Amino acid sequence: MQADRPYLPHCLNVFPCKEHIMSDESPIIFTDSCCAKVADLIAEENNPDLMLRVFVNGGGCSGFQYGFTFDEIKNDDDFQIEKNGLTFLVDPMSYQYLVGAEIDYTESLQGSQFVIRNPNAETTCGCGSSFSV
């Protein structure tokens, strides 16, 4: 562990880039199932430089919606979260809505999907892809 990066529990290192200062709030949790799926997707792309960007933007039936995309570029103000050899990126605006959330990957008879369990969401739509605060 490097001295300039704060250690957080749950085998998850979260550290801000440049001006970001970590608060006492819980980090964003990426489950082992989520990490395994992301690793599989990166392997399929055959590009080890890919990082998963998780974001929130306006839209959806509840006001905000979650999004995921692969990115090779980390912006100066991104929060960088590392787990299981993977890098996850979250922009500052999205981070405030995702602090304390757990991001999982599930497979069931209804299909497979990334699932976000967000304690900040007051309501969510039926499909779980949008929320309000």
Distance CA 129, CA 133 (A): 14
More confident residue, 21 or 48: 48
Report which of 72, 107, 86, 74 is spatially closest to residue 38, judged by C-alpha positions. Answer: 86
Across 17-38, average pLDDT: 69
- Comparing CA positions, the residue from 8, 131, 4 lying closest to residue 61 is 131
Classify domain 13-132 by CATH number. 2.60.300.12
Query: Could you state, in order of their start, the residue ranges of all structural domains in the chain?
Result: 13-132
Quick count: other Cβ atoms within 10 Å of Cβ 54?
24
Can you give the pLDDT at residue 64?
Answer: 80
Lowest-confidence region among 34-38, 60-64, 66-70, 121-125:
121-125
Binding site for iron-sulfur cluster, by residue number, is: 61, 125, 127
Which residues define the annotated binding site?
A: 61, 125, 127
pLDDT for residue 9 is more than 50: no
The answer to whether the predicted template modeling score (pTM) of the entire model surpasses 0.85 is no
Average pLDDT over the chain, rounded to an integer: 77
> 59-98: per-residue pLDDT in tens?
766 578 889 999 999 999 999 999 999 999 999 999 998 9
CA atoms within 13 A on the CB side of 118: 26
In three state form, how does the secondary structure of the chain look?
CCCCCCCECCCEEEEECCCCCCCCCCCCEECHHHHHHHHHHHHHHCCCCCEEEEEEEECCCCCEEEEEEEECCCCCCCEEEEECCEEEEECHHHHHHHCCCEEEEEEECCEEEEEEECCCCCEECCCCCEEEC
Looking at the predicted structure, is the pLDDT value of residue 122 above 80? no
